[in-house]
Amino acid sequence: MELNILYFTAASIAFIHTLIGPDHYLPFIMISRARSWSYQKTIFVTFLCGIGHVLGSVVLGFVGIIFGVAVGMLDKIETFRGDFASWLLIGFGVAYAAWGLRIGLRAKTHVHEHEHEDETHLHSHHHLGSHTHIHGNVKSITPWTLFIIFVLGPCEPLIPVLMYPASQGDWWTLAGVTLVFGTITITTMTIIVMISYKGLVNLRLGFLEKYAHALAGLIIAMSGIAIKLFGI
């Protein structure tokens, strides 16, 4: 009975922590929409970042347990990691928004008059030129940037959950709690992104479409600010 309660607690905390934390899914939703990622790529990047997110705290927790680091010290380390990761998220969002604004402004359509032998017609084009796509045609480092941010970002609620079975010397339960917490966290992230992708893929932004990157960066930065302000 006690074991079931511990597993249920780990699962509940993981689900709520992920659900109320916009940083767990908004970056993937917005970047996917802006960069026109495929469904498979969006889910893969989300899943990969989820694994990195959980493993970062798991490794820290196990190192702390092995070397007998106090819970208070681990909490301080996780708090520092949380602050650092949120600033990284804000910085990434602002930088991406600035780049997206530049792309959007350069993509402004212009109309020019072209004269031929027997007729004159109007030709419109983007400032980026006919061979440059608004979303970019070079290999993006964005997924790896997100992965690094998520590896550095902590799962603060995981540490206290790990401490109870660790204090009892119950390594099997410790492994089980870790597996439950990690599985629920990654699954919740992935499901939210899956549902959101289906809703956003056909969303048309009209004249704001060329500013999709800027909007994505702005929302990502706002999610980082929300973490700083509300500690979620």
DSSP string, 100-125: HHHHHHHT-EEEEEEE-SS-EEEEEE
CA–CA gap between residue 166 and residue 93 (Å, rounded)? 38
Token duo for residue 222: 């706002």
CA–CA gap between residue 207 and residue 135 (Å, rounded)? 15
User: Tell me: the pLDDT tens digits for 99-117?
Assistant: 988 888 876 554 445 454 5
- Sorted by where each begins, the domain ranges of the chain are 2-230
- By mean pLDDT, which of 54-58, 139-143, 169-173, 215-219 is the weakest? 139-143
Within 10 A of 45 (CB to CB), how many other CB atoms are there?
A: 22
Model's pTM, two decimal places?
0.78
Check residue 68 and give its pLDDT: 72
Token duo for residue 8: 């249920």
Q: Are 71 and 159 in contact (CB under 8 A)?
A: yes
User: Tell me: the pLDDT tens digits for 68-106?
Assistant: 767 677 778 878 888 888 899 999 999 999 998 888 887
pLDDT over 50 at 215, yes or no: yes
DSSP string, 153-165: S--TTHHHHHHHH
- Secondary structure letter of residue 209 according to DSSP: G
User: Tell me: the pLDDT tens digits for 4-49?
Assistant: 888 999 999 999 999 998 889 999 998 998 888 899 999 999 999 9
Per the model's pLDDT, the better-predicted residue between 202 and 129 turns out to be: 202
Work out the average pLDDT over 214-222: 91
CA–CA gap between residue 80 and residue 75 (Å, rounded)? 9
User: Tell me: the pLDDT tens digits for 129-186?
Assistant: 433 444 444 346 788 889 988 988 877 778 778 777 777 777 888 889 999 999 999 9
Report the SS3 class of residue 49: helix
Q: At what angle do helices 212-230 and 71-106 cross, to 10 degrees?
A: 160
Token duo for residue 213: 């990157």
Per-residue confidence at 207, pLDDT binned at 50, 70, 90? Answer: low
CA–CA gap between residue 103 and residue 95 (Å, rounded)? 12
pLDDT over 90 at 118, yes or no: no
Q: Are 32 and 199 in contact (CB under 8 A)?
A: no
Report the SS3 class of residue 126: strand
